Amino acid sequence: MKYWIKTPFLIPYLFSGFKWRFSPDSPTLYLTFDDGPSELVTESILTILKDAKVSATFFCIGKKVKKNQQLFEKIKAAGHSIGNHSMTHPNGWKVDKNYYLKDIQDATKLINSNLFRPPYGKINFKSIYALRKTFKIIMWDVVSGDFDMSLSAEKVIENVVKNARNGSVIVLHDNDKFKDLTLGSLGFIIKQLKVKGFKFEAIPFSPLK
């Protein structure tokens, strides 16, 4: 499995219309969770965040919101931000523009947010202009690797703690498949980054309607 833990400088430069990182002048980090809400992991993530007094951002999949409406409401009630991660998690490089935009629009009926993160980070290039009329496209600065079953929780922790810097947007997952790595690393990630002097905030969002 090939992926970048630290987003190379050239990528944000080429796609400067997307948000990869926030202000480098403040020791603030932005934890984000993709793919939920999920039955086996969301409650535990919310508990860890509550105990640590940390706010985060959840990029949710519409079909999972529909299935787990109470969990979705708990995310919002806890003061976390929400973002659109599509209705069915399509790979933007493998579907056409109309399909892609409709899938995202279907999700907006359930996820009322001006934040969007493309599934797999693979946005449909022909859709970018239309998407930017409605959404802030949020990417990332650091990938935890909590989806990589070849890693240990210790390695996931190291990936984040070693690479986080002022303004970093950090990707974790709210996904039943990866729950052991996510839950086994999240609390330690937060604790170690706090020791380094970082604080955490949710990415600000606005309702679309």
Active site residue ranges: 34, 173
Write down how long the chain is.
209
Nearest Cα residue to 207 out of 28, 41, 64, 81: 81
- Specify the pairing of strand 115-116 against strand 136-137: parallel
Going from the C-alpha of 47 to that of each of 23, 24, 43, 50, 55, the distances in angstroms are: 28, 29, 6, 5, 11
- CA-CA-CA-CA torsion sign (139, 143, 147, 148): positive
Show the tokens assigned to 17. 């219309």
Task: Give the distance, in angstroms, between the CA of residue 62 and the centroid of all CA atoms in the same chain.
Answer: 14
Q: For residue 41, count other CB atoms closer than 10 A to its CB.
A: 24
Can you tell me which residue has the tokens 């109309």?
98
Task: Give the distance, in angstroms, between the CA of residue 119 and the centroid of all CA atoms in the same chain.
Answer: 10
> Under DSSP, is residue 34 helix (H, G, I), strand (E, B) or coil?
strand
CB–CB of 102/124 below 8 Å? no
Nearest Cα residue to 161 out of 189, 141, 187: 189
